[in-house]
Amino acid sequence: MATLYLLEQGTKLVKEQKKLVVEKDDNIILEIPEFKVDRVLLFGNVQITTQAMKFLLESGIETAFFTIYGKLIGKLSPIESKNVFLRITQYECSKDENFRLSVAKILVEGKIKNAKVMLQRYVRNHPEEVDFTQQLSNLDSCLEELVNKTKVSTVLGIEGRASAVYFEAFGKMFRKDLQFTGRTRHPPLDPVNALLSLGYTLITNEMLSIISATGFDPYIGFLHGLEYGRPSLALDLIEEFRHAVVDRLVLELINKEILKEDDFEQTENGTFLKNESRKIFFSHYEKRMLTCFQDEQTKEEINFRKMFFKQVQNFSKLIQEKVPYKPFIIK
């Protein structure tokens, strides 16, 4: 099964018999058997017919709409999951401050541990270039302080401090012309931030689809609080995957010069990948999501897309059965 990225402006997605067809100016660009697609992402000025939308909804194929620069606009969503009992339990748990606190600590602990692994791996592979002793010590201090925090707000404070320490070191991992001096989000102000923002948007969209299909309310989180229009639970559950999926991908693309400075464009809205370069990014993103590794718990081969699903199922067990939740840790 595959992801269909529609980037060519002015194209149209239609349904013909038992296949999806991408057209432009009455010419057929691509034909795909319906059983070979499990998600469709449309960027910018790409049209879709009513028949195609109906088919995608009936087939449960994840469909999302983005601006040309990769900002998520919305999704085609089938009838909401019938698992009302999960949502009721989720609401009840979200009102339990002690439960929220324990979940928030677990998620932030997992994120900080993954940040440490990222730094340790780089030092091991490039001992002559960097010394992250101080940053690793600071991350250890964050982990120690995390244990004694009594409010979710202070857990978020620890997460913010740890992220600042991590991104300071992250900037020193780039060995080519494109550099990173700090995280900028709305808008991304340089090429590395443009890649990070696009990658984080993609994994948030994937997580949002999984938690919605499982029956969760994606707007009720535990680490991230309530905010109008923010999918807080999706943001909670991607924290453990940010470094493993997106950050490692961005490092590879820049350090191997797969993407270079002329692959980006400066606009009044920020820095973004050019259209043809986005195709390169999506190709490598798919490769990253489908890369197999050993699941430390089951010892089975698994990829990140399946791990997303597995972690949502584990989180469901935490909510409904109070089975302890273990975040994904890079090995």
CA-to-CA distance for 67 and 70, rounded, in angstroms? 5
Q: How far apart are CA 240 and CA 244, in angstroms?
A: 8
- CA max distance for the chain: 64
What's at 246, amino acid-wise?
A: V
Phi (first) and psi of residue 19, to 5 degrees: -150, 155
Q: Please name every residue paired with 6 in a beta bridge, in sequence order, or none if there are none.
A: 42
Gap between the Cα atoms of 243 and 37, Å rounded:
27
Residues 103 and 146 in one domain: yes
- Other CB atoms within a 10 A radius of the CB of residue 189 amount to 16
Burial 225-236 (b: 16+ CB within 10 A, else e): eeeeeebbbbbb
Is 331 contained in some domain? no
The whole-number pLDDT of residue 296 equals: 77
Report helix, strand or coil for 264: strand
Whether 327 is covered by a domain: the verdict is no
Pairing of strands 27-33, 47-48: unpaired
130-159 tens-digit pLDDT: 889 999 999 999 999 999 999 999 999 999
Domain count for the chain, please give it. 2
Alpha-carbon span 273 to 202, nearest angstrom: 14
Residue 158 Cα distances to 35, 100, 184, angstroms: 45, 16, 19
Same domain, residue pair 144 and 265: yes
Q: What is the mean pLDDT of the chain?
A: 90
Same domain, 50 and 101: no
Whether residues 252 and 138 share a domain: the answer is yes
**Residue 120 reports pLDDT greater than 80:** yes
**Which distant-in-sequence residues (6+ apart) come within 8 Å of 109 by Cβ?**
143, 146, 327
Q: What is the CATH number of the domain that holds 293?
A: 1.20.120.920
Last residue of a domain, one of 76, 110, 136: 76
State residue 266 phi and psi, 5-degree precision.
-95, 125
Q: Quick: pLDDT tens for 21-62.
A: 898 888 888 888 877 787 888 888 899 999 988 888 888 888
Q: Both 15 and 138 in a single domain? A: no
Nearest to 330 by CA among 247, 265, 263, 229: 247
- The range of the structural domain enclosing residue 102 comes to 84-321
The per-residue pLDDT for range 163-190, each reduced to its tens digit, is 999 999 999 998 877 888 888 888 888 8
- Whether residue 215 sits in one domain with residue 135: yes
Last residue of a domain, one of 30, 56, 76: 76
| Measured distance CA(104)–CA(125) in Å, rounded | 32
Among 76, 106, 135, where does a domain finish?
76
**d(Cα 265, Cα 98) in Å, to the nearest integer?**
46
